[in-house]
Amino acid sequence: MQLRLAERRGAGEIPDVLILIEHPRTYTRGRRTKPEELPMGNAWYEERGIEIIDSDRGGLVTYHGPGQLVAYPIVDLAPLGGDVHEFVRGLERVMIGALGEHGVPAQAIEGWTGVWTEGSAPAPGLADAARKIGFIGLHVSRGITTHGLSINVDVDLAPFEWVVPCGITDAAMTSIALETGGPETVAAVGDTVARHFGTVFGRDPKATTAAELGLEAAPSMLKGER
């Protein structure tokens, strides 16, 4: 799906698109993932209903599952200056803004990918260390982005403990629900993320349909960024 949309975006047939989706229990392995980051072995994970998928995105292994928002921006970087690193910084700002609206003060930490709760940079035994709540893994081909970001909304965090998530051994994972102690929905957070994406990147998000994008089947939430 992402590849088809990226091809159409590169041909100028569609505007920038932000796909908002919730995945079944899955580990995705980025291009730099090492076997030791899934220490239990593939069969062990599959016995627990977790599929393992290789991905062409950057980054290392991470977990996706029900209760986690995944957002895939299919974006032409040229109008944004073509700077991949600045686009990643923008995705961090999107997550920080959205998390703040949902009651979780968040930050980016120099030298650590993704978005974190307030606190010090992770270190062994550090009581006030920040916890990771937002993730980024991007792929860029011919100036068009695929893959993107994810935010733990109300997701089972145990599968993160069964791998070395994002290559990090000294940090805890968390979610909006865990931080706030209240219920939260992926749909509500998705709407907030779309709005902040529009603000950060100068877009006007409009809900669109699979047919308008030339897809036979699509996620439950799609935003066209015009």
Q: Determine the Cα–Cα distance for residues 126 and 138; give it in Å rounded to an integer.
A: 30
The secondary structure element, H or E, covering residue 91 is helix 84-101
8 A C-beta contact, residue 75 and residue 144:
yes
Which residues, at least 6 apart from 112, have a Cβ–Cβ distance to it below 8 Å?
Answer: 121, 122, 168, 171
> For tokens 């609206």, what's the residue?
101
Catalytic entry in 50, 130, 166, 176: 166
How would you classify residue 16: left for phi > 0, otherwise alpha for psi between -120 and 50, otherwise beta? beta
Please, what is the angle between helix 84-101 and helix 186-201, to 10°? 130
Active site residue 209: no
Residue positions annotated with a catalytic role: 166
